[in-house]
């Protein structure tokens, strides 16, 4: 259960030791590898790849450092930099004046433009003004979005995943998508239903983001980056990925023709061709099983530990609220109302990204467990309170009349009876928590939902992957539902008929027959 937690602690410890003793320091870099080809993403062999992946490794090598990858969600990349989870972020981040206020940027490592993609057969577009009155998709926080917002009459729609935006163009829900050229080249060009339209729009400059104030690291990275460009390594990498365009060649003052064949691009397109046969699909699913297994284990771990925390805290809150003196009652009520009245997602983000501002840095697993556990504790508390109040007053009176203390009456008479009453709602909550655990993918953990994101955006197979992951959630939940039902029936002693043996429960035989057990 706590293996995961322990391994994180162990990792941190060994990391600290390694930093002190090993001669080669590390360069911790972060990206969001989900739906992120060709920047940094998991290839069909489930290993990291991408042109940014190769660039940062080259830079680290020139710096004499060992590149170490840290995964994070796109929205958390810059906050994570602030809390010191890693040294740099390289993830297609455009150098813009407002971002430059938050972080330091390296010199540009790639220069490109916005590419408009429309459905096959659409009349050519030559200027953005022609898009007036049309719905155009793009990603949040991109240069494309601000360009669209500056164009009068354009209705900009933002997506979380580029693949969904292009899918909507193919489906006819959108007129077009405006996104960075590399994205268009990898996600739209291979799709026979889509076509590029119009000239290059604007200019986008990608830079490596560094924590504000760390100018020393900024200088080191710029020096290494310059070496990578000058040695021709940069041209080789970008050529292999099919991204060596006249724009970038001009920016680096190098020849326009690619230095190598675009093998990486071809391999990507081949592995994502639409016409995957049934057997290749099955093979592909099979190749995901180590990822899915780890993700399932993480989901179960985080849900079980979270639920245990929720039960312990919830029980304490319920006792405080039902039996405590007024200050404790008041505190418990306040806690329950605040936690129930705010979204779990916000609570998780505050725990993970907000607390470091006051010096509390939680490991992702700890933050996930705390977020889920403390949130569900509020709901558990209300369950238990209802359970405690549902026990007739006469039970405690009988216990007191027999000379028991209030505590003994609770311990031996009231709580055991409420246990059975609250079992069904608690089971409900656990199933609910199991599904809400998908939110921990927001704090860099690769749980089942994180695995779904990675697989679906990598294979473009949203339907099959969705069914697969949904089935796993269902399968995890079922045994707990059955266990709870069995326990509930075993505890239902006050409903047994006379002469019935313990363990023989009314209706259980019928249920057993019906479910053919």
Q: Which positions touch other proteins (CB under 8 A)?
A: 392, 394-395, 397-405, 408, 412-413, 416-417, 420, 491, 493-500
Cα–Cα distance for residue pair 78/440, rounded to 1 Å? 18
In the complex, least distance from residue 404 CB atom to other proteins, rounded to whole angstroms: 6
Report the residue number, 308 or 493, with the smaller CB distance to other proteins. 493
In the complex, least distance from residue 494 CB atom to other proteins, rounded to whole angstroms: 4
Report the residue number, 350 or 391, with the smaller CB distance to other proteins. 391
In the complex, least distance from residue 83 CB atom to other proteins, rounded to whole angstroms: 48
In the complex, least distance from residue 73 CB atom to other proteins, rounded to whole angstroms: 47
Quote the radius of gyration of the chain (alpha carbons, Å): 28
Is the CB of residue 380 less than 8 Å from the CB of residue 314?
yes
In the complex, least distance from residue 326 CB atom to other proteins, rounded to whole angstroms: 14
In the complex, least distance from residue 392 CB atom to other proteins, rounded to whole angstroms: 8
Q: Which two tokens stand for residue 272?
A: 């994502």
Alpha helices in 342-363 (DSSP H): 344-349
The order of strands in the sheet holding 155-159 is: 155-159, 135-139, 176-180, 110-119, 194-206
In the complex, least distance from residue 483 CB atom to other proteins, rounded to whole angstroms: 20
Report the residue number, 98 or 494, with the smaller CB distance to other proteins. 494
Report the residue number, 223 or 406, with the smaller CB distance to other proteins. 406
Q: How many helices (H) and strands (E) does the chain have?
A: 22, 12
In the complex, least distance from residue 500 CB atom to other proteins, rounded to whole angstroms: 7
Report the residue number, 501 or 517, with the smaller CB distance to other proteins. 501
Is the CB of residue 144 less than 8 Å from the CB of residue 157?
no
Cα dihedral angle (283, 289, 290, 293), rounded to 10 degrees? 180
Cα–Cα distance for residue pair 199/294, rounded to 1 Å? 45
In the complex, least distance from residue 397 CB atom to other proteins, rounded to whole angstroms: 6
Cα–Cα distance for residue pair 74/33, rounded to 1 Å? 9
Q: Which residues pair with 31 in a beta bridge?
A: 71
Report the residue number, 408 or 432, with the smaller CB distance to other proteins. 408
Report the residue number, 67 or 391, with the smaller CB distance to other proteins. 391
| CB-based burial label for 277 (10 Å; 0-12, 13-18, 19+) | exposed
Report the residue number, 129 or 397, with the smaller CB distance to other proteins. 397
> CA nearest 92: which of 56, 133, 132?
56
In the complex, least distance from residue 320 CB atom to other proteins, rounded to whole angstroms: 17
Name the region of 213 (left: φ>0; alpha: ψ -120 to 50; beta: rest).
left
C-alpha distances in Å from residue 418, one per residue of 101, 191, 279, 333, 398: 56, 59, 53, 20, 16
Say how many CA atoms lie within 13 Å of 271 toward its Cβ: 18
In the numeric block, the tokens 């699909």 are attached to 281
Do strands 41-42 and 48-49 pair parallel, antiparallel, or not at all (unpaired)? antiparallel
Report the residue number, 3 or 501, with the smaller CB distance to other proteins. 501
Report the residue number, 21 or 499, with the smaller CB distance to other proteins. 499
Report the residue number, 414 or 440, with the smaller CB distance to other proteins. 414
Cα–Cα distance for residue pair 299/439, rounded to 1 Å? 10
In the complex, least distance from residue 381 CB atom to other proteins, rounded to whole angstroms: 23
SS3 103: coil
């Amino acid at each position: 259960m706590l293996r995961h937690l322990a391994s994180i602690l162990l990792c941190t410890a060994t990391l600290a030791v390694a930093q002190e003793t090993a001669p080669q320091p590390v360069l911790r870099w972060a990206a969001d590898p989900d739906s992120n080809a060709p920047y940094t993403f998991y290839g069909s062999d489930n290993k990291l790849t991408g042109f940014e992946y190769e660039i940062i490794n080259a830079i680290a090598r020139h710096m004499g450092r060992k590149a170490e990858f840290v995964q994070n969600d796109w929205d958390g990349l810059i906050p994570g930099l602030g809390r010191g989870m890693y040294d740099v972020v390289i993830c297609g981040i455009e150098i813009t004046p407002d971002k430059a206020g938050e972080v330091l940027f390296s010199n540009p490592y790639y220069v490109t433009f916005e590419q408009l993609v429309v459905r096959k057969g659409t009349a050519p577009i030559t200027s953005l003004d022609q898009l007036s009155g049309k719905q155009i998709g793009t990603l949040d926080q991109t240069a494309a979005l601000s360009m669209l917002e500056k164009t009068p009459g354009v209705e900009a729609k933002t997506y979380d995943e580029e693949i969904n935006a292009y899918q909507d163009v193919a489906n006819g829900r959108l007129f077009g998508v405006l996104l960075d050229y590399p994205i268009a080249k990898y996600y739209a060009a291979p799709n026979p239903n889509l076509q590029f339209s119009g000239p290059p729009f604007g200019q986008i400059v990608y830079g490596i983001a560094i924590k504000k104030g760390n100018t020393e690291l900024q200088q080191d990275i710029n020096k290494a980056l310059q070496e990578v460009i000058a040695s021709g390594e940069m041209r080789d990498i970008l050529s292999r990925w099919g991204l060596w365009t006249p724009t970038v060649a001009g920016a680096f003052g190098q020849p326009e023709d690619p230095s190598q064949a675009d093998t990486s691009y071809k391999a990507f397109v081949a592995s994502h061709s639409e016409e995957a046969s049934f057997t290749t699909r099955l093979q592909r699913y099979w190749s995901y099983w180590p990822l899915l297994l780890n993700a399932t284990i993480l989901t179960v771990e985080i849900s079980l530990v979270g639920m245990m925390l929720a039960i312990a805290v919830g029980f304490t809150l319920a006792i405080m609220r039902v039996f405590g003196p007024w200050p404790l009652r008041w505190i418990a009520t306040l806690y329950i109302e605040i936690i129930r009245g705010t979204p779990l997602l916000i609570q998780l983000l505050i725990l993970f990204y907000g607390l470091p501002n006051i010096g509390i840095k939680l490991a992702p697993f700890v933050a996930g467990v705390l977020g889920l556990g403390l949130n569900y504790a509020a709901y558990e508390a209300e369950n238990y309170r209802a359970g405690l109040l549902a026990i007739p007053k006469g039970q405690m009176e009988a216990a007191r009349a027999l000379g028991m203390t209030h505590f003994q009456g609770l311990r031996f008479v009231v709580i055991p009876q409420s246990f059975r009453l609250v079992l069904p709602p608690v089971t409900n909550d656990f199933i609910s928590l199991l599904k809400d655990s998908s939110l921990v993918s927001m704090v860099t953990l690769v749980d089942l939902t994180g695995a779904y994101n990675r697989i679906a955006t990598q294979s473009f197979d949203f339907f099959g992957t969705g069914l697969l992951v949904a089935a796993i959630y269902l399968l995890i939940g079922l045994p707990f539902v059955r266990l709870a039902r069995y326990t509930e029936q075993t505890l239902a002693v006050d409903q047994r008929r006379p002469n019935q043996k313990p363990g023989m429960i009314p209706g259980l035989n019928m249920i057993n027959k019906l479910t053919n057990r």
